[in-house]
Amino acid sequence: KQEVTQIPAALSVPEGENLVLNCSFTDSAIYNLQWFRQDPGKGLTSLLLIQSSQREQTSGRLNASLDKSSGRSTLYIAASQPGDSATYLCAVSYSYNTDKLIFGTGTRLQVFP
Amino acid sequence: DGGITQSPKYLFRKEGQNVTLSCEQNLNHDAMYWYRQDPGQGLRLIYYSQIVNDFQKGDIAEGYSVSREKKESFPLTVTSAQKNPTAFYLCASSLFSGANVLTFGAGSRLTVL
């Protein structure tokens, strides 16, 4: 069964810290991997998408890396800010059905001033 | 501004009643999706539509029905056959099937009394 796990489930850090969120997947033959942000009671916003042939993607203070062989991805957030407080979810897709994303349960991040 | 509109935002239903959640997009996207989110769980795919007049079951389609008569609309009906319908429902769209870069609506929270 293809599963996606995110550790830790929750994280609380002071403003300014650099932090790493982890995502692992059981079947390494992914098509791509995506990181999303979800604010409480809201929909999801796509942050970064990494194709299976790529090793990392960057957007501003965010950097996502992908290691297919070990079934892992990390989301690195530099110089965290209170506005980064949200739940971060990763999702993978496979080539047999690229319409179906398999989501992790998310990491709830709180950045306090 | 282009986007996805879900309504209603909150909905209460008595057991045994069918309810329909609306999802409208003005992004000219071909593909649309319905996900269910429960506390502590990742998003699970209910139904998706790759093109008008066509839709496919996702992982948890039992007790739900959809239609795709217009490109911009993809309503979800939660029927009385759904055993545990209380959840947060998210609609999403993508430019084409398998594009994976999803735009999400703000969600609809359904509570069964």
Give pLDDT tens digits for B50-64: 999 999 999 999 999
State the pLDDT at residue A97: 82
State the pLDDT at residue B2: 74
B43 and A91 in contact by Cβ < 8 A? yes
B107 and A43 in contact by Cβ < 8 A? yes
* pLDDT (tens place) for every residue of chain A, 113 residues total: 789 999 999 999 999 999 999 999 999 899 999 999 999 989 999 999 999 999 999 999 999 999 999 999 999 999 999 999 999 999 999 988 888 999 999 999 999 99
CB-based contact, A1 to chain B, within 8 Å: no
Q: List the single best residue of A101, A105, A108 to mutate versus B (max B Cβ within 10 A).
A: A101
State the pLDDT at residue A59: 96
CB-count exposure of residue A41 (10 Å: 0-12, 13-18, 19+):
exposed
State the pLDDT at residue A98: 83
CB-count exposure of residue B47 (10 Å: 0-12, 13-18, 19+):
buried
- On the question of a cis peptide bond just before residue B8, with omega within 30 degrees of 0, the verdict is yes
Tens digit of pLDDT for each residue in B57-112? Answer: 999 999 999 999 999 999 999 998 888 999 999 999 999 888 778 999 999 999 99
State the pLDDT at residue A63: 98
Closest CA in chain A for residue B57: A100
Is the confidence at residue B1, as pLDDT, over 70?
no
CB B36 within 8 A of CB B43: yes
Tens digit of pLDDT for each residue in B19-38? Answer: 999 999 999 999 999 999 99
Give CA–CA dist B39/B34, Å, rounded.
17
Give CA–CA dist A12/A19, Å, rounded.
10
CA distances from B52 to A38, A96, B32, B72 (A): 28, 22, 10, 9
Give chain A positions within 8 Å (CB) of B43.
44, 89, 91, 101, 103
Q: List the single best residue of B5, B23, B43 to mutate versus A (max A Cβ within 10 A).
A: B43
Alpha carbons within 13 A on the beta-carbon side of B76: 36
State the pLDDT at residue B34: 98
Give CA–CA dist A71/A54, Å, rounded.
14
